[in-house]
Amino acid sequence: MNNNFKTQITHFAKTVSTLAASVALAASISSGVQAQSSAKATPAVPMAKFQAPGFYRMMLGSFEITVLSDGTATRHVDEIMSKPEAVRAAYAHHHEELPVELSINTFLINTGKQLLLVDTGAGELFGDAGDGKGSSNRLVANLRAAGYQPEQIDAVLLTHIHGDHSGGLSIGGKRVFPNADVYVDKNDASYWLSQANANAAPAARQLTFTQSRATVNPYADAGRLKTFSGAQELFAGVSSIPSYGHTPGHTAYLISSQGKQLLLWGDVIHAGAAQFKDPGITIAYDFDAVAAVTSRQYLLQLAADKGYLVGSAHISFPGLGHIGRSSAGYEWLTAPYQIKGTY
């Protein structure tokens, strides 16, 4: 075998070896890419699809206020509000699609001596079991997450008797807050708890009468229902402001401590995107729509004039802000999120 032939054989062997190595490397890269692609196709962590516990704390003078979420209620507000075209246009302007999720906010006041809860959410009345899977009936879970127990509540102050405000008082006929007195304007208690009024009421109100008796009467039967009339100082630093119209005894509450004020209201505003600009827009659930508009205009003007911080039951959680004036009417100025929460 001559030297030229040996050289050719050696060169051929090296070429085959190089090709084999290249094929192996390509296969390895391909396998890695496939594995990486497969890994990307399956998320490493499943999606949780739930929100964190709904509470938000702030200091108001010497009082600690905890906003507690009962969840949300999804509503086609354009179908239950007057001026539906204006309502639809307002929500489109705010980039919100209908139906909207309306927050159900409640407010816990720790005075240092007492625990006072303003409104109780819907409880089980919207069909949610309170297990965190539904959109409402979350008050008790959020109360506990905030470090309190239902048995610690000394008093419940209702803005009015309607399912999404008084519904959380009782579950399955039992008082959720067994050691609490329930305060509500006399006009509301006299109307909604009366069988004679229920008999005379239109069909659209019958469900509210039934729910009112089911959730409020356990407290009345236990001697825990306390009524008041109009403007009263119910506790030190806690006063009622009559805002009749939405219901016969609809009430706002002014909380005051060390020169700081917080105005809490229930159904003064439902459709925030539309009603601040036009307070004349009403909702089908109003007992007296004309009186409801008068009360809304009064409270908006009061809050704007005094610069009160406002806690609103149906503005997106935590529902805290101020009322500003604009060329078109009023506007909602959302309070900034704060870790220390001192306003």
Per-residue model confidence as pLDDT tens digits over 7-17: 454 554 454 45
Q: In the listed set 13, 30, 49, which residue is the last one of a domain according to the structure?
A: 49
Q: CB within 8 A of 265, min separation 6: which ones?
A: 159, 243, 252, 253, 299, 310, 311, 312, 313
- My answer on whether 38 and 62 are in the same domain is no
Q: What percentage of the chain exceeds 70 in pLDDT? A: 87
- My answer on whether 136 and 14 are in the same domain is no
Of 56, 146, 50, 69, residue with least CA distance to 337: 56
- My answer on whether 31 and 180 are in the same domain is no
Asked if the structure places residue 96 within a domain, the reply is yes
* Three-state secondary structure string covering 192-235: HCCHHHHHHCCHHHHHHHHHHHHHHHHHHHCCCEEEECCCCEEE
What the block records as the tokens of 165 is: 């405000």
Tell me what pLDDT residue 48 has: 84
Mean pLDDT over 46-69 rounds to 94
- DSSP of 51-72: PPP-EEEEEETTEEEEEEEEEE
- My answer on whether 23 and 62 are in the same domain is no
pTM of the full structure? 0.86
Q: Let me know: does 140 contact 150? Beta carbons within 8 Å.
A: yes
**Measured distance CA(183)–CA(118) in Å, rounded:** 9
Asked if the structure places residue 37 within a domain, the reply is yes
Q: In the listed set 15, 32, 49, which residue is the last one of a domain according to the structure?
A: 49
Asked if the structure places residue 286 within a domain, the reply is yes
Q: How many CB atoms lie within 10 A of CB 178?
A: 13
Mean pLDDT over 237-265 rounds to 99
Q: In the listed set 49, 69, 84, which residue is the last one of a domain according to the structure?
A: 49
Asked if the structure places residue 343 within a domain, the reply is no
What is the SS3 assignment for 304? helix
Q: Which domain holds residue 14?
A: 1-49
* Three-state secondary structure string covering 77-140: HHHHECCHHHHHHHHHHCCCCCCEEEEEEEEEEECCCCEEEECCCCCCCCCCCCCCCCCCCCHH
- My answer on whether 15 and 44 are in the same domain is yes
Tell me what pLDDT residue 53 has: 85
The pairing of beta strand 320-326 with beta strand 309-312: antiparallel
**Measured distance CA(250)–CA(283) in Å, rounded:** 14
CA atoms within 13 A on the CB side of 101: 11
What the block records as the tokens of 145 is: 């997450």
- My answer on whether 75 and 14 are in the same domain is no
C-alpha distance across the termini of the chain, in Å: 99
Tell me what pLDDT residue 17 has: 52
Give the length of the chain: 343
Tell me what pLDDT residue 51 has: 85
Number of domains in the chain: 2
Asked if the structure places residue 177 within a domain, the reply is yes
Above 50 in pLDDT, residue 141? yes
**Measured distance CA(13)–CA(275) in Å, rounded:** 86
- My answer on whether 148 and 113 are in the same domain is yes
* Residue with token string 């409640």: 106
- My answer on whether 12 and 67 are in the same domain is no
**Which of 100-114, 131-145, 258-272, 305-319 is predicted least confidently?**
131-145
Asked if the structure places residue 105 within a domain, the reply is yes
Helix (H) or strand (E) holding 323: strand 320-326
- My answer on whether 40 and 61 are in the same domain is no
Q: Let me know: does 334 contact 276? Beta carbons within 8 Å.
A: no
The predicted-structure confidence for 26-43, as pLDDT tens digits, reads as follows: 455 455 545 455 555 666
